[in-house]
Structure 1
Amino acid sequence: GVEELARRGIAIGNGEAVMENARLIKSPDEILAMRRSIIACEAAMGEMEAALKPGISENELWAELHRGNIARGGEWIETRLLSSGPRTNPWFQECSSRVIENGDLVAFDTDLIGPYGFCADLSRTWLCGDRQPSNEQRDLFRIAADQIAHNTDLMRPGISFRDLAERSAVPPDDCYPTRYGVLYHGVGLADEYPTLPHAGDWTDDTPDGVLEPGMVLCVESYIGRLGGHEGVKIEEQILITETGNEKLSAYKLDERLL
């Protein structure tokens, strides 16, 4: 078909960039659908947290998110990113049959396509059981929470992608090698344009642009020391507004770790 169109003088191009840019600014209806997806996702997260007790496996806990999403009209989940204890460092280990122990950190990334086909991409890290968190667990969590807070505050209309990356807080030196691959990424029907790496990872091929009202991006943090025992993952979903931003995700952070 492509050859025949070319023979007739019709040029064929990759449509991905066109579609990604068309989806960049969300309509009011799209924002409403996204809010509904996040509400469903966070309700399922609440059921996960209630089920989180020593002795449950990572797979069993992850199944609570799936069940809650489907029960509320959601569609699918892209990944299996839930890990506990020593499996939280490095990040990107999929959930397993490992039994979660008292005092473990449990970190996850929802990557969830919920009701109306919109993505709810949130991350939290919880402390399992009734043990007090260690100083190291508190320290990792504080660094991640502070990075998210600082970088969220930068997300305002008019700031360029490059400037946003260069002004962003990044993990400390002993956590930088295990950093999450991006600082921010667009979100809509799934992960979308733009994808903004750390300033040190910026290349001549990295697209630049400007934050505009109606864009929705996720702000990411993973903090785990190189060779360390555990790590902390936090991610929030942010709407760019005319005057600043609105955090669409509302699920509380684990206050025991703050």
Structure 2
Amino acid sequence: MKKEFHMENRETLYHSMEAGSLAVMFSGHAPRKTGDEDYPFFANRNFVYLTGIEQQNSIFLSEVQGNERKETLFLLPSDPFAERWTGRRLTSIEAYEVSGIDEIKYIDQFQNFLNHIIASKEIQRIYLDFDKIRDNEPDSEAYKLAEYIRNRYPFITLKNLQPQLKKQRTIKKPCEIIAMKEAEKITRAGILSMMQSSKPGRYEYQFKAEFDYTLAQHGVLAPGFPLIITAGKNNFCIHNYSYRGQAQDGDMILNDVGACWDNEINDVSRGWPCNGKFNEKQKLLYQCAYETSEYMFRILKPGIPMKDVDLMIRKYNFEQLKAIGLCDDYASVGKYIWHGGAHHVGYDVHDLADSTMPLTPGMIFCVDVGIYCEEWGIGFRLEDNCLITETGCENLSAIIPRSIEDIEAAMGKR
């Protein structure tokens, strides 16, 4: 993304903040893995959304006073010795080219800088990124700073940036949609590689290797999220990451995968028979999912409550399962439909979004139709990325084989 994208995101954020406020955000740091080894660093997504900076131990601070904004970015200083081990650090010029922030200071100046602003300006509130989703999560830098503020400056009100950032990230800008479409092309190449290499006897890790290799050939060094690629009985563990299963003749291959391009992550699922040819029961179930997905892409349009999308998928899928004699009544549909059918995608694979908003042009979310029939030994999902347009919607992942005929053709069986 160009720096103008991040500058626009910040300006939108400032319009939601009152005068006499500070916004402080942290990029985060890599936690220790074991011994003296750390996990790979992954920058806070809200921080990247607002700054474009993906370097650890970075801080963004902005002062909002009416129509005036003063932005400061705090970075690690140049350290030739440390950079031998951990790589080059951003220079001030490079940071500006990415973020559009021209006031750059070193990270060790942050605490004094913050105290000086609070002491010399009429700061009444500080906005922080409070993002915990579980009670037992360790405190991030935002929570630690909040505790410091409460103890030293009890007169300052602490506010959460999350609600506003949810609203902003729910609607994708044109440059984000372009990036998402590029991610779809790369995901397509990875899925086709898996389909074309599919045969009985292959292990899940071999399918995964095909996808990873294809992404790397397109300059994508890691997928957008941990890949789910399973065969046979492993299809009945929704989030299975072992990759140790072996596909047997007659098994379905379930995959839930996605590339990331310019920080936009897509999320696509396809199911196919490992031998390339659907048997009769596989056809029956797959056609139920396919008809449900096709129906959703015909009817989704602006104005529909987002909360209704999952229910619409579930009810229509039930009707398909009932029509083939598998499911008698709606009360028992949970036997075959195990998970929700819609979630937003973007900077996160389950993207930060305002779920109270109705479908609005610029939203991108998954239409995820899963069917798990244990008595038939068949479990899979058909998941596509839906872009809401002014008049309806667009299936961004329609470029990836999804009908029975197209999947068999892609696998060389037609």
Under TM normalisation by the shorter chain, which class is it? 0.7 to 0.9
Which residue pairs with 1:176 in the alignment? Answer: 334
**For the structure 1 residues 75 and 17, does the alpha-carbon distance in structure 2 shift closer, same or farther, using more than 3 Å as the test?**
farther
Is residue 2:404 matched to residue 1:255? yes
Which residue pairs with 1:94 in the alignment? Answer: 241
Which residue pairs with 1:10 in the alignment? Answer: 156
Could you say what secondary structure the match of 2:387 adopts?
Answer: strand
**For the structure 1 residues 175 and 134, does the alpha-carbon distance in structure 2 shift closer, same or farther, using more than 3 Å as the test?**
farther
Could you say what secondary structure the match of 2:347 adopts?
Answer: coil
Counterparts of 2:271 and 2:226, CA distance in 1: 17
- Structure 2 counterpart of 1:140, which letter? L
Ranges in structure 2 where 5+ consecutive residues have no aligned partner: 1-144, 322-326, 409-414
Q: Is the 8 A contact 2:220 2:259 kept in 1?
A: yes
Q: 2:227 aligns with which of 44, 69, 80?
A: 80
Superposition deviation, residue 27 in structure 1:
0.8
**For the structure 1 residues 181 and 11, does the alpha-carbon distance in structure 2 shift closer, same or farther, using more than 3 Å as the test?**
farther
Counterparts of 2:199 and 2:209, CA distance in 1: 14
Is residue 2:351 matched to residue 1:192? yes
CA distances 1:82-105 after superposition (whole Å, capped 9, x unpaired): 111232235333352222122221
Counterparts of 2:307 and 2:282, CA distance in 1: 32
Could you say what secondary structure the match of 1:12 adopts?
Answer: strand
Could you state the TM-score of these two structures normalised by the residue count of structure 1? 0.85
% identity of equivalent residues = 23
Q: Is the 8 A contact 1:90 1:231 kept in 2?
A: no
- Structure 2 counterpart of 1:32, which letter? I
Ranges in structure 1 where 5+ consecutive residues have no aligned partner: 196-206
CA distances 1:148-193 after superposition (whole Å, capped 9, x unpaired): 1122223201111244344442444465234242121111112214
Could you state the TM-score of these two structures normalised by the residue count of structure 2? 0.55
Based on CA coordinates, which of the two structures has the bigger radius of gyration?
2
Q: Write the mapping of 1:1-258 to structure 2, written as runs, cut at 5 A.
A: 1-6=145-150, 7-77=153-223, 78-110=225-257, 112-129=258-275, 132-168=277-313, 169-171=316-318, 172=321, 173=327, 175-190=333-348, 191-194=350-353, 207-249=355-397, 250-253=399-402, 255-256=404-405
Could you say what secondary structure the match of 1:133 adopts?
Answer: coil
Counterparts of 1:229 and 1:3, CA distance in 2: 52
Counterparts of 1:26 and 1:45, CA distance in 2: 25
- Structure 2 counterpart of 1:247, which letter? N
Give the total of aligned pairs: 245
